[in-house]
Structure 1
Amino acid sequence: MRRMTFDERRAALIDAAIRVIARDGLAAATTRAIVGEADMPQGALFYIFSSRESLISAVIEEITSAERLGALLSVELIDSDAGLAEVLTAAMDSYVRLLESDPRRELALLEVATHAMRHDPEAGRRQWEVYRSAVADALGFIADTMSLRWRMPTDELAHMVTSSLDGLTLSWLTDHDSDAARRHIAVLASTFAAMAVPIDGMGRIGSEGREQ
């Protein structure tokens, strides 16, 4: 049997940790439980990670990176003739599809976030800053690509978008009603699209927006 590389072992341990946390909760995610889930010896975990806390940090990074990649790719691959509401719908739909494909990831992230809110609020804030930064990057990319400006600072709009997606996430994890989630997305896309104005080739705001 082929020996796993360092990166393969790291990925396997992160995935095992996600499964344990999503299924049994963070408190149950001991190093013994995680290596058992990964079918590895205990020493393998400490060869890859310096501590359990380091592994949990990697879990957060893995989940948020996957969500950020999904959102940004959907924006980059959208039809160039699409309107802003269509672009926003595609980006948010990408997030829902990621949620549908592997809800355990979001359950694990929520479990870790709840723990951080109680025991390490600063870590919790950093976790949500990753979300907002990713959304702000996507909004900036949209603005540049579609020659528009947002009516408010991008970081403020990103806060609104992530707050809306948080509510959608909790609702979907409760009822798994994807049709309702996509109706929610349609409303959000129209609402956020109204917060943008076009600019001309000289960088001036067009007739639909006010001069800045």
Structure 2
Amino acid sequence: MSTNVKDTRNSQPAPRRGRPKGDRAAKRTELLQAVIAVIAREGYAGASMRKVSQQAGCTTGAVTYYFANKEEMIIAVAESLFDQFDQILDGDDQQDVHALLHHWLDWSNISDTDTWLAIFQLLVHARHEPAFASIVRERYAALRSALAAVLERGQQEGSIRQDIPARVLSDQLCAMTDGWMMLMPIEPERFESPHGHTLITSALALIAPPSEQR
């Protein structure tokens, strides 16, 4: 056997191609926004890493630096969207339950149709991919649980109706925002101000104590 063959067992791995410069977190966020835009325009099937790189104005290597493959990229988008919901429910404005819920519903009523189109595409995709569906179920269950905890605290304070369990109210609010999510890209005028604000106010009225409703 030749002794000229280089032994690479103890060598360091080569650096990943496309290493970006600057703020990595900011660049990753920028790429996630590019993924959302591509999914909204092309659908899940058309959201290739090449198209994402074109949308972001970078090389495909820069995309693969952050996401090894398309599946990892899509999962990162789903996780980031759920993270935004979690940040709202874990926000500093914990003293006023109604203000916190208004903020959450208002985020659900955003006019960024790309975001909702992307979410809709991802949910459709989840029906056919068990691994991805498992992530959505896990994160959505955690979201409903966090929302139920906020509502339960409101019940203890007397600002949320107590005749319906907090977990049921949480399910109702989530189902309501699910409907908004699906229809907003199709009927955006329904969710524009002032009607969009009225929808949020009405949702809060539905979970208010019966005496306040009267």
| Same fold at TM > 0.5 | yes
- Equivalent residue for 1:161? 173
Question: Which of 98, 102, 112 pairs up with 1:102?
Answer: 112
Identity %: 22
Deviations 1:32-85 (CA, angstroms, capped at 9, x unpaired):
11112112222222222232211211111211222343455495374xxxxx7x
Query: Considering only CA atoms, is the larger Rg found in Structure 1 or Structure 2?
Result: 2
Separation in structure 1 between the aligned mates of residue 115 and residue 50 of structure 2, nearest angstrom: 20
Contact 2:159 2:208 in 1 (8 A): no
Indicate how the Cα distance of structure 1 residues 28 and 169 shifts in structure 2: closer, same or farther if over 3 A, else same: same
Whichever residue aligns with residue 144 of structure 2, its letter is R
- Equivalent residue for 2:46? 28
Contact 1:117 1:124 in 2 (8 A): no
Deviation, 1:164, is 1.5
Indicate how the Cα distance of structure 1 residues 9 and 119 shifts in structure 2: closer, same or farther if over 3 A, else same: same
Structure 2: tracts of 5 or more residues without a match: 1-19
Whichever residue aligns with residue 57 of structure 1, its letter is I
Separation in structure 2 between the aligned mates of residue 43 and residue 101 of structure 1, nearest angstrom: 32
Deviation, 1:27, is 1.0
Indicate how the Cα distance of structure 1 residues 186 and 7 shifts in structure 2: closer, same or farther if over 3 A, else same: closer
Contact 1:113 1:127 in 2 (8 A): no
Contact 2:109 2:180 in 1 (8 A): no
Question: Which of 159, 180, 188 pairs up with 2:195?
Answer: 180
- Equivalent residue for 1:207? none
- Equivalent residue for 1:129? 141
Separation in structure 2 between the aligned mates of residue 129 and residue 5 of structure 1, nearest angstrom: 32
- Equivalent residue for 1:202? none
Structure 1: tracts of 5 or more residues without a match: 79-83, 197-212
- Equivalent residue for 2:124? 114
Deviations 1:124-149 (CA, angstroms, capped at 9, x unpaired):
42353244234224324434666878
Separation in structure 2 between the aligned mates of residue 72 and residue 122 of structure 1, nearest angstrom: 23
- TM-score, scaled relative to structure 1: 0.71
RMSD (Å) for aligned C-alpha atoms:
3.3
Moved more, 183-192 or 64-73: 64-73
Indicate how the Cα distance of structure 1 residues 122 and 98 shifts in structure 2: closer, same or farther if over 3 A, else same: closer
Whichever residue aligns with residue 173 of structure 2, its letter is V
- Equivalent residue for 2:17? none
Moved more, 65-74 or 103-112: 65-74
- Equivalent residue for 2:76? 58
